[in-house]
Structures are given as C-alpha cells and as structure tokens.
Amino acid sequence: MVFGLGLQGGFSEKPLITQADLQGPVPGSATDLVHSINALVGEPIDPVRVQALADSLAASWLQIGYPKATVSWNAVGDEKGEGLRLTFTSSPGPAAGWHLGDLSLKGNTVTQSHILLRELPVYSGMRLTSDDLERIQNNLLGTSLFSDVTLTQFETASPGVVDLEVKVSEARTGRIETGASYTEDTGPLFLFQLQERNFAWGPPWRGQALQVSLGAQLGSDLTQVDARLRNPRMGVGLWRLDTTIFYEDNGTLSDFYAQESLGAELFFSHPYGPNNLLSIGVGYTRYEVYDVDERLADDPTLNDESDVDLSAIYGIWSYEKLDRRFRPTRGFRMKQQVGLGTDLLGGNTKVLEYENKAHFYLNPFKDHVILFKGGINSVDPLGGTQDVPIPLREWLGGVENLRGFSYHSISPFTEEGVPIGGLSSWWGAVEYMVPLHPYLDASVYYEVGHVSADAWDLGTENMVSDWGAGLLVRAENFPVRLDLAFPITVAEGDLINKKGEAFFSFSVGYTF
C-alpha cells in the first residue's frame, strides 16, 4: 500500500487537531474507524496513531476486494492558526480481479457447514469481485444466525489466485419470553413465547437453521396457542417453507357470542429481488360458535349446523423496503393476500377473501417518525354459500386498527344494536412518534375506518374515527405498548362505544 504523509506548520509542540475530515468513499464495515477519526478532534497530533487509522481503513478496503486501495493523510494549520486541520483521503482503486482458490470456514461451532455454504455465491476458480464479497456478508448476516462476519483473503503462490477465509461469530438463536398484556376487552393475559432460530431434527438439536416457535396467550376468557416451523432455505434454492398449527378459544371477540377455532397452514415462499416475496399455500380451519345471544337467533349462519369448515388456497405478495427492521424511520411495507375457500380439503364454505395493508414511514427530523398506515378487507360468498358465516366476517376495533374502540365492535348492527360483522372494511391512520429515550417513544395519532354490509363496498356512511396517545418501549424482541384513545365519531346504532370515552390498552409485540 502507498500512503501520502505531509505535516505543515511551525509548531514547537504537538498542536491540537481542530478539524478532522474524511474525503472519498468508505467501506460499510469501517463505521468504527470513521468514529475514531472524528474522535481525534481536540487531541494532540500523533502521527503514529493517525497512520494506524489510515492503515486500518486501507485494510478494510482490502478485505472487501480492493487490493490497490490507498488511504493518505495530511495535516496543515487551520485558518485561525490555532491548531491543525487533519484530512484523510480514501481511494479504493479498481475492484479485485482475483480468482478464488480454497475456501475455508471458521467460527461455526454450532451451525453446520452446509448451512453457510448455501449462502456463499462463490466456487473455486471463479473471478472474485468486491460485489461477491459484499453479497457473502449480506447473505450470512441476513440469516440472523451470526452477529459478525469477517472475510480475509490470502495471496497464494499462483498469480491472481487468492484463498478466502470466512469467519463467523454465532449469535444467540434461542429465546424464552414471558409477559402480560391488558385491554378493556380481553382483561389481563399471560404471554409466553419459546423460539429457536437454529433448530435441527436430531441431537444436539441445533445447527440446521430451522426456525421453530411455540407461543401462547392465556386469560380467563381467551386461550391462544400456536406452533410454527420455518425452513428459510429448502436445499440450495431460495424457496422457504412455513407451517403453522393453531388453536383458539375466544370469549372476548364479542359480547354476543364466543368462538373456538382449530387449524393448520402450509406455505411456500420465494423472494423476487431484495424487496418482494411471493407465497402460495393452503389452510384449513374449523370454527365453532357457541354461547350465542338470543338476539342473534335470526342470523341464518347460527343454526344447529353452524360449524364452519374453511379450506382455502392462498396467494400472498409482500413488499418491504425499510431503513431498519425494528422501529423503522423511513420506507414502505405492504402485504396483499387473496384466499379462495373451496371444498377440496373438506371445507363446507366457499368464499373469496381479500386483504391489503400497508405502512409508510417518513423521517421529518432526527429520529422522529410520521407513520401512515391502513388496510382494506373484503369477503364475498361464492357458489352454494349464500351467507358468509360470522367467523369470516369483517370487523374493526382494537389495538390492530382503531384503538379508541372496543375489539370487533365496529360493524353493521341489528335494530337492537348488536354488531353482526360486515363483508368489507377499510381503515387508515396517521401517527407521529417522538423518541423520549433510546428505548422509549411517545406518539399521538388519528384513526378512521368503516365496515360495510356489502362486499367490495368502501363507502363512508357511518364512518368512525378516534384519536389517542401512546408510549412504546421499543425492545427489539419484546416491545410493550400502552395506549389511551378516545372516539371522535361513533356509528349510528352503536351501543358499545361512546364518543369521548377513554379506551385503554396494553399490548406486546409489533403488529403488521
């Protein structure tokens, strides 16, 4: 490597550095070096230390495939004559034109080697570029199995050929979480979550990158249990497999009935580009409605044979481009899902279901966030299904959309004021989030929505709205949120929600 060195001025003692600048591009892995350069301001000039920083920055370029990178520095008197202005100049030069010799892995004491190798888009003899090295780092870090990835190249006796060492630091992949939540609808709930992101089918039961989880919410009127398995990479391809088994006994859905459900889902997903994910799958759910209020006796779907068997084929398109995964400040995420209920897997209900929801993040100032979010849902009966059963109808209200209203309380009503669910819904919200602490946000928000008795009806008649304020403890894995919201506009015929009456909720987890 070649470095330029120049020190100008007539100082008799080591002068202070009053300004430190870095010119030219910098590798993404050199963030700590940039901070170290900025930290030189206010300290006496130390050529040995400065040269060491320049060498480290040049080594960062070499590590990602720029063998001819140079980093020079120069120190001159500042304009006021009070100290030195220190300037580093970084020049990566041309990308590597090397060919790969041997590939070695280090640090994977738990994760099996083939899990790493399937993420490495390289092979012996191929031309190795900086893009290949960056892709290796991104792929391995993207698995969430490793906290750090270091790539080191070694020259060989063969001209233009290098050996590559991939060294990983394995992250903690298992987690047990417990907690509690509260809303005025559900009352207190005990929460439990067991997760392992590097599960294996045999002893020592870790190392194959399978993701398993077991979750539960337990309360006096609500029991929810689910078990999930994800294989993020099937073989060496990009297909992903997701399976879920779930059970719920819910007496908090409505004041007028309770519901039990048991089901399973199987999905195959494939990414397209860095932001898109397409999924296809099948699901089966059996619903049983019980403890039905006599005021719902006229509903044609609540007779002695009202159990619902829904077997459906699903297609999902997800898009996500965010500046960071947890508590994003900029970007967009969206999910569109279409489900077709059929009798192929023993179902007795034919419907077409559509769901679309999106979040849009803006960053107006420092770490402040303006969040726009909303959703559109509709369900349409098909074939011999004349009336959509209550478990499949559309509702609004609760922590997932309109926080100023009781859960599942926004819908069309009977003449007696009983909510019976609709066939389409839409809602939207704008929220301003302000950081109070590195792990605490405060927010204010306005929300609006509508549920219609007809499919594909996005009208505004009997539209409702609320406003509120919340606190979010934004722990990466176990966020906690407290909200106090107030209805502004209440639908005509609503006997559950009252204009201006505060509604409090306490919830755990990110929702999308």
Beta-ladder partners of 211: 230
Mark which of 149, 170, 191 sits at the end of a domain.
Answer: 170
Other CB atoms within 10 Å distance of the CB of residue 350: 18
Directed axis angle between helix 47-63 and helix 31-38, to 10°?
Answer: 160
Report the candidate in 11, 165, 59 with the shortest Cα–Cα distance to residue 103. 165
pLDDT tens, residue order, the chain (512 aa): 333 334 444 444 678 888 888 888 887 767 788 888 888 888 888 899 999 999 988 888 876 667 778 899 998 887 777 788 999 998 887 765 678 899 999 999 999 999 999 999 888 888 877 778 888 988 899 888 999 999 888 878 887 788 899 999 999 999 888 877 777 777 888 889 899 999 999 988 999 999 999 999 999 899 999 999 999 999 888 899 999 999 999 998 888 889 999 999 999 999 998 899 999 999 999 999 988 888 887 777 776 556 799 999 999 999 999 998 778 999 999 999 999 999 887 888 999 999 999 999 999 988 899 999 999 999 999 987 788 999 999 999 988 899 999 988 999 988 888 888 999 999 999 999 999 988 899 999 999 999 999 999 988 888 999 999 999 987 766 678 899 999 999 998 888 899 999 999 887 766 66
**Exposure string for 52-68, b = 16+ CB within 10 A, e = fewer:** ebbeebbbbbbbbbbbe
pLDDT of residue 364: 94
Local structure of 367: helix, strand or coil: coil
Mark which of 25, 57, 91 sits at the end of a domain.
Answer: 91
Cβ atoms of 130 and 95 within 8 Å: the answer is yes
Regarding whether 58 and 183 lie in a shared domain, the answer is: no
Following CA atoms 50, 53, 58, 64 in sequence, which dihedral angle do they give, to the nearest 10 degrees? -170
CATH number for the domain spanning 389: value is 2.40.160.50
Regarding whether 335 and 476 lie in a shared domain, the answer is: yes
pLDDT of residue 448: 98
Regarding whether 432 and 338 lie in a shared domain, the answer is: yes
Mark which of 39, 70, 91 sits at the end of a domain.
Answer: 91
For residue 212, give the amino acid letter.
V
Regarding whether 185 and 59 lie in a shared domain, the answer is: no
Domain boundaries, position 78? 5-91
Regarding whether 231 and 135 lie in a shared domain, the answer is: no
Regarding whether 497 and 376 lie in a shared domain, the answer is: yes
Regarding whether 421 and 314 lie in a shared domain, the answer is: yes
HEC string of 33-66 equals: HHHHHHCCCCCECCHHHHHHHHHHHHHHHHHCCC
Regarding whether 372 and 334 lie in a shared domain, the answer is: yes
Regarding whether 393 and 262 lie in a shared domain, the answer is: yes
The whole-angstrom separation of Cα 290 and Cα 297 is: 12
pLDDT of residue 67: 72
pLDDT of residue 495: 87
Report CA 80 to chain centroid distance, whole Å: 50
Regarding whether 263 and 223 lie in a shared domain, the answer is: yes
**Prediction pTM value:** 0.75
For residue 65, give the amino acid letter.
G
DSSP string over 465-490: EEEEEEEEE--SSS-EEEEEEEEEE-
CATH number for the domain spanning 28: value is 3.10.20.310
pLDDT of residue 59: 83
pLDDT of residue 11: 43
The whole-angstrom separation of Cα 2 and Cα 347 is: 73
The whole-angstrom separation of Cα 441 and Cα 287 is: 38
Regarding whether 327 and 180 lie in a shared domain, the answer is: yes
Report the candidate in 388, 317, 326, 305 with the shortest Cα–Cα distance to residue 351. 388
Report the candidate in 449, 472, 355 with the shortest Cα–Cα distance to residue 402. 449
pLDDT of residue 1: 36
Regarding whether 385 and 326 lie in a shared domain, the answer is: yes
Number of domains comprising the chain:
3
Q: Output DSSP code: residue 79.
A: T
pLDDT of residue 13: 64
